[in-house]
Amino acid sequence: MKKADIGIIGMEVMGKSLALNMESKGYFVAVFNRTGSKTEAFVNGPAKGKNILSTYTIEDFVNTLKSPKKIMLMVKAGKPVDIFIEKLLPLLSKGDLIIDGGNSYFKDTMRRNTELAERGILYIGTGVSGGEEGALKGPALMPGGQLEAYTLVEGLFKNIAAKAEDGKPCVSYIGPHGAGHFVKMVHNGIEYADMQLIGECVWTFKNAFDMSSGEIGNIISKWNGKNDVLRSYLIEITADGLKERYKRSDEYLVDRTADITRMKGTGTWTVQSALELLVPIPTIASAVFSREMSQDKDLRLKMARELTLRKERANESLEDMIDIAHDALYVAKISAYAQGLALLRAGSDEYGFDLNLGNIVRGWRAGCIIRAQFLDEITRAYEENSQIPNLLAAPRFAEIVNRDIGKLAYFIDIAHSVGVPIPAMDSAYDYIVQLAMPIMVSAQVSAQQRDYFGSHGYFKIRGLNDPRILTTDDGKIREFHTEWQLQDRPEKEITK
């Protein structure tokens, strides 16, 4: 009997779509699902007549595969992944490969990689972006694990991955153990921010000019023009969705959609990781918190009766507002991506991932949810200088931010005046401005407060005209404490 090139476990939307994608590229695919009825429905439905083999026991599934066996798990993250790994292990041999294509937490992937390596089993944690359509027609793939493991599926991955306009596949080896899932996690966090920023623009137009969703959709459609810096998949689907009518009526579907945005957890993990790594990602965090706020609908309905907040109408012309909003959104978007890329760099250093940020962004140019025209600009920025400390330091982006930061500030003022909360826009602006501050006065005050009530000590700057940190001759930071409770309040240097 002919053996399958690869096997997929999990016949939900993504697993089925990937199986069809692989089969369309000439691969013989075996499939298995815990509940056999889903497997049967798949092979008698979308996969009927295709080179896809159905199996109904885990033993038969494994036995149908060529050696070294290559198995892709497309199951829910967490315990289900561990359960299937335990079921597979007795049936596998050294050199066989397990691929986790779900949204697993990267630290779980690191653990599994280590445990399986001890058993001689290769393991890849692969981020898969693009949703159902991407999985079917070409996703962006972010594989992390042993390089030896990646070489076993490199050809397959390149064949099924999305292709950018230059023809290059949107996949490359990300790095060891949990690197792929770490990158996918941050990708999703950036996605949260991008979506929230666009939503805040829509809300501001609606309040400022009492526009219909369809009218706003027409504006945003123009932002998806061929050479527009905002051209992206998210802009495209936002415009399309805003113009969709509700049951062929005069209403719009989005206006009948409940204002509750759910989450699967990757955005929360991104914020948690940023806190652990001491990397500020306020725009991504704001997007996560906004989703959390959306879910407390009952409280918001109650508070809307208690808090009658002042609202004004915009004084600007619609034409001016369109220009302001466009450029403000682009600056905010640059800020959000800078935050996500800063987290990737910090994670790379902390966990030894050795990430190539330029290659990662290059792999997002097609197939994935955040695919966008300006990703080419980010890629070029890292090609020009792979060690830029922050995306905002790249000359091509610094020029745009310096030119248009005022438009972002003005847009924020308008949104506030018409009663629209825009936490993502606010935080994107604040992130840029704080980065540009040689002295953060609020931090000076907080440092002094901590020393006052808790004797925590503080560092000092070299002088009023020199904001660099005061150090010893050999470069060690000097620390001080003021005796606040004594009358003359003497300052002493803390030695450790």
Taking the CB of residue 59, how many other CB atoms lie within 10 A of it? Answer: 11
**Residue of 23, 70, 191, 333 marked catalytic:** 191
How many angstroms separate the CA atoms of 236 and 331, rounded? 19
Q: Cβ contacts of residue 18 below 8 Å, gap of 6+?
A: 8, 72, 74, 101, 128, 135, 136, 139, 160
How many angstroms separate the CA atoms of 361 and 343, rounded? 14
Give φ, ψ of 479 to 5 degrees.
-120, 145
Q: Residue 333 in contact with residue 441, Cβ under 8 Å?
A: no
How many angstroms separate the CA atoms of 298 and 462, rounded? 53
To the query of whether residue 184 is one of the catalytic residues in this protein, the response is yes
DSSP 8-state code for residue 95: T
DSSP 8-state code for residue 352: T
**Terminal CA-to-CA distance of the chain, rounded, Å?**
72
In terms of Cβ atoms closer than 10 Å to its own Cβ (0-12, 13-18, 19+), residue 2 is exposed
Which CA distances in Å does 384 have to 380, 391, 442? 6, 12, 35
Q: Which 3 state secondary structure label does DSSP give 241? A: helix
**Residue of 16, 69, 184, 333 marked catalytic:** 184
Q: Residue 129 in contact with residue 190, Cβ under 8 Å?
A: no
Question: What residues act catalytically?
Answer: 184, 191
